[in-house]
A and B are shown apart, each in its own frame.
Chain A
């Protein structure tokens, strides 16, 4: 072997991965990039603090024999998990904004789409990779702690009575978390594809969450009925979550209507992404 390293251009003789794995490259790079940000790590840690509170609650529930006056306060059931998932909504909001706003907006600002799509990478792989970044972090603060809590509850209780009494619990946890994560991720990614400015995207997403809630508040005052809750994104998520856990519904809106609104939002988001993620901007 020559002791002098050739710094000129050389033809590549190694192996190549078949097309179709580009999204994993995007996912790995995206996760690495986010984990390098201290503020984001702090946000993730903060998002896990409610888990500590819930662990204490689960542990306390196993001790109610020693303190029966606390049994109502510490009672563990499907509502415990439903409340936990709903309370994580605040952190889902912040993580979605922090990790999601720049996912496509940043690429648009830097003209990176033409670089990505000139590689052997389908548009759906690009979108899938970006979606996977956000979904990974959102699942890390919803599904992962919820499953952990379920495991800890069984460990503390020393039995599977809760699961036997509530067979819908496991699928409800998975579905409720997935629905929240998919709706938040698709909506944010679609908004991110609409602008070059991360800040503008964050404002748009905040606007959608709060504006729809505000409209619901106004309609509630005008109509005096919670049947109009379908206009609020948050209310729809809570309604579907409650139905999955077979808990009392908070609004009069039919669950099917809430579910359809959420499906419609995801379909609209995918349609926006399909139109906006292109290798070239076409102005007809």
Chain B
């Protein structure tokens, strides 16, 4: 008997290469249903993974499954259940927004009247209702992002691939796009994979994350679980020679990384300690290094911390 609700995506030892350059190296991962963030720096292989799942790039080795369907064996069935919002601008030349989205609906198998009705609905949903009779070529960058989402949604996919959906958007547009993504995932029951190099985007919209780095999986799991392993995080700012201080922190087994405005985030691994022990340890190291401790505050682990540690380990 088959599983009634298989995972959104399963990759089994997948290698994808462009010539001699391997973009994905023996990757195995399971993407659960719901909202999953695909996180990684530029060039990590995120877009390659999505394009392989769409069947655009056949893997050199391994198998890919989407919603329980083998991508290589049943590509049309897979794509009928997928919605893809590409990273680059894309539209059909010479069409206005509603014609374009309805056309995409028909290409995905919707009857013409249903496709047109859904086109109007999704254009309103993504905030382009008033501009739906304008030619897509006249749209601003933010509007082009929205119409890409509309064409991906028009046939009501079971799984949505969003490749850098907030690229090029102004802060207000970005917030609105993230709200839409979050609404789709949390209220409308649409499974989605959001590929991004922007940690806040993934943290705001997704429950799970898969971190890719240099074509391999650095870490994956529920974001909350990844953020909350044993260990504490502190924000530290010191005055003086940083090098010996950082060196001594690392000698003591503490991880640290610099953020903006001279603030360092220091990770203290291990189990629960007595209140104040960690702070005393950091202060002692600062004293031993000859630097002046100007700021020391307990912080909460963020996805950025998970990402940094994962990339560091990878």
Chain-A contact segment, one of B28-36, B49-57, B168-176, B242-250: B49-57
Known: A33-B94, A109-B93. A14 touches B79 (CB 8 A): no
Contact A17 B111 (CB under 8 A): yes
A138 to chain B, nearest CB (A): 21
Report the Cα distance A118→B51, complex, angstroms. 9
B77 touches A (CB below 8 Å): yes
Contact A25 B18 (CB under 8 A): no
A278 touches B (CB below 8 Å): yes
Report the Cα distance A284→B22, complex, angstroms. 11
Among A7, A19, A107, the residue within 8 A (CB) of B92 is: A107
Contact A9 B153 (CB under 8 A): yes
Residue of B with least CB distance to A12: B156
Contact A106 B94 (CB under 8 A): yes
Interface hub of B19, B80, B108, B109 (most chain A Cβ within 10 A) = B109
B106 touches A (CB below 8 Å): yes
Known: A115-B86, A283-B18. A120 touches B56 (CB 8 A): no
Contact A118 B121 (CB under 8 A): no
Which A residues between 105 and 121 are near B, CB-CB below 8 angstroms?
Answer: 106-107, 109-112, 114-121
Count of chain A residues with a beta carbon within 8 Å of a chain B beta carbon? 40
A18 touches B (CB below 8 Å): yes
A159 touches B (CB below 8 Å): no
A38 to chain B, nearest CB (A): 15
B-contact bits for A199-233, CB 8 A (1 contact / 0 none):
00000000000000000000000000000000000
A77 touches B (CB below 8 Å): no
Which B residues between 60 and 100 are near A, CB-CB below 8 angstroms?
Answer: 76-77, 79-80, 82, 84, 86, 88-94
Residues of B within 8 A of A119 (CB): 79-80, 104, 107-108
Q: Is the interface of A mostly helix, strand, loop or mixed?
A: loop
B159 to chain A, nearest CB (A): 12
Known: A7-B124, A106-B93. A17 touches B109 (CB 8 A): yes
Residues of A within 8 A of B54 (CB): 117-118, 279
A69 touches B (CB below 8 Å): no
Report the Cα distance A105→B50, complex, angstroms. 25
Residue of A with least CB distance to B54: A118
Report the Cα distance A279→B118, complex, angstroms. 25
Among A18, A116, A280, the residue within 8 A (CB) of B51 is: A280
Contact A19 B109 (CB under 8 A): yes
Among A106, A112, A118, A122, the residue within 8 A (CB) of B84 is: A118
Residues of B within 8 A of A22 (CB): 107
Known: A7-B129, A12-B118, A280-B51. A112 touches B110 (CB 8 A): no
Known: A25-B103, A115-B86, A284-B19. A110 touches B111 (CB 8 A): no
Contact B88 A114 (CB under 8 A): yes
Chain-A contact segment, one of B7-15, B183-191, B283-291: B183-191
B122 touches A (CB below 8 Å): yes
Contact B125 A9 (CB under 8 A): yes
Among A7, A18, A111, the residue within 8 A (CB) of B89 is: A111
Among A9, A102, A115, A278, the residue within 8 A (CB) of B90 is: A115
B179 touches A (CB below 8 Å): no
Residues of B within 8 A of A106 (CB): 93-94
B106 to chain A, nearest CB (A): 5
Residues of A within 8 A of B183 (CB): 9
B16 to chain A, nearest CB (A): 11
Known: A9-B125, A282-B18. A110 touches B108 (CB 8 A): no
Which A residues between 142 and 187 are near B, CB-CB below 8 angstroms?
Answer: none
Report the Cα distance A118→B118, complex, angstroms. 18
Residues of A within 8 A of B76 (CB): 19, 120-122
Known: A19-B109, A280-B56. A9 touches B93 (CB 8 A): no
Residues of A within 8 A of B106 (CB): 25
Known: A14-B111, A118-B79. A9 touches B184 (CB 8 A): yes
Known: A19-B80, A120-B79. A111 touches B86 (CB 8 A): yes
Contact B125 A7 (CB under 8 A): yes
A2 touches B (CB below 8 Å): no
Contact A120 B90 (CB under 8 A): no
A240 to chain B, nearest CB (A): 35
A193 to chain B, nearest CB (A): 15
B114 touches A (CB below 8 Å): yes
Contact A117 B56 (CB under 8 A): yes
B156 to chain A, nearest CB (A): 4
Which B residues between 98 and 138 are near A, CB-CB below 8 angstroms?
Answer: 103-104, 106-111, 114, 118, 121-122, 124-125, 129, 137
> Can you name 23 A-B residue pairings with CB atoms under 8 Å?
A11-B156, A12-B114, A14-B114, A16-B108, A16-B109, A16-B155, A25-B103, A109-B93, A110-B89, A110-B91, A111-B90, A111-B91, A114-B56, A114-B84, A114-B86, A115-B151, A117-B54, A118-B56, A120-B109, A279-B54, A279-B55, A280-B51, A282-B57
Interchain residue pairs A-B with the least CB separation, the first 9: A284-B19, A279-B56, A12-B156, A111-B90, A118-B84, A120-B80, A16-B109, A19-B76, A119-B107
Q: Show the binding face of A for B, using Cβ within 8 Å.
A: 7-12, 14-19, 21-22, 25-26, 29, 33, 102, 106-107, 109-112, 114-122, 278-280, 282-284
Told that A115-B86, A122-B76 touch, could you supply 12 new A-B pairs with CB distance under 8 A? A9-B121, A9-B122, A9-B184, A19-B109, A29-B103, A110-B91, A114-B56, A115-B91, A118-B84, A120-B107, A279-B55, A282-B18
